[in-house]
């Protein structure tokens, strides 16, 4: 499932984060990946121990937690604190797949079911930098408004095109979902969306109750927890 999640951050939040990131101390992005990833990665990231990363990451997690579409699509069980990157001067990230399991700050582990990229730069402020995601239906090019996010299966091959003008700032994170299977998560999202739309249209309450029962019983059946 490839899904655009609009308006995760408002304009004021975006501008404040951008101002903080413009003066941040960045590190070579290759320090955070293994040898295979380092061979195709050319960008900068906030260091893992950066207090700014912690502060801005907490704000993003709070915003995602309040966003109904993100919650309905991802059904997050655990979320890795966001990381921040910058691409400029030809910076890019070649074709790769994200690691299947990552360490949590508390010492636990997280299975990466869903990847999420949050755009912080306005699309007209830079050239290139498109996120290219491969799936069974081909390649999808993503370049969203600042404050918007894209969620997609972490199992997808993907890359970031070289940035040839300006700078591309963004945040990215991974989530372990209550529902491991992407196809099942998509069915649940479609059912949840239909229930909300029918409820808003004043549909029969008995029928809505039956549909809600189907949704929750499927979630109960498919959930890992």
**Known binding positions for Fe cation:** 96, 98, 158
Minimal CA–CA distance to 47: which of 23, 83, 20? 83
Binding site per annotation, positions for 2-oxoglutarate: 168
Contact 57, 174 (CB under 8 A): no
DSSP codes joined into one string, 173-205: EEEEESS--HHHHHHHHHHHHHHHHHHHTT--H
Cα R_g (the chain), whole angstroms: 18
Contact 97, 152 (CB under 8 A): no
- Torsion 110-116-117-119 (CA) sign: negative
Contact 1, 182 (CB under 8 A): yes
Q: How far apart are the first and last CA of the chain?
A: 21
Task: Give the three-class secondary structure for 6.
Answer: coil
Residues 6+ apart with CB under 8 A from 125: 166, 167
Binding site per annotation, positions: 96, 98, 158, 168
Beta bridge partners of 170: 85, 119
Contact 53, 83 (CB under 8 A): yes
């Amino acid at each position: 499932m490839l899904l655009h999640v609009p308006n995760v951050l408002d304009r004021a939040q975006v501008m404040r984060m951008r101002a903080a990131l413009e003066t941040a101390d960045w590190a070579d992005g290759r320090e955070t990946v293994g040898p295979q990833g380092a061979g195709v990665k050319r960008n900068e990231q906030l260091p893992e121990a950066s207090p700014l990363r912690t502060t801005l990451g907490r704000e993003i997690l709070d915003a995602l937690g309040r966003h109904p579409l993100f919650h309905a699509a991802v059904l997050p069980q655990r979320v890795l604190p966001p990381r921040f990157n910058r691409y400029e001067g030809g910076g890019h990230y070649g074709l790769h797949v994200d690691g299947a399991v990552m360490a949590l700050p508390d010492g636990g582990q997280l299975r990466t079911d869903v990847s999420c990229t949050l755009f912080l730069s306005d699309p007209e402020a830079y050239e290139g930098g498109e996120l290219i995601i491969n799936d069974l239906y081909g390649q999808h090019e993503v370049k969203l408004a600042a404050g918007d996010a894209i969620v997609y299966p972490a199992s997808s091959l993907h890359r970031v095109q070289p940035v040839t003008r300006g700078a591309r700032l963004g945040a990215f994170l991974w989530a372990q979902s209550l529902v491991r299977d992407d196809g099942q998560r998509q069915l649940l999202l479609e059912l949840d969306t239909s229930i909300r739309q029918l409820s808003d249209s004043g549909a029969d309450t008995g029928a809505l109750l039956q549909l809600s029962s189907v949704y929750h019983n499927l979630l109960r059946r498919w959930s890992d927890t």
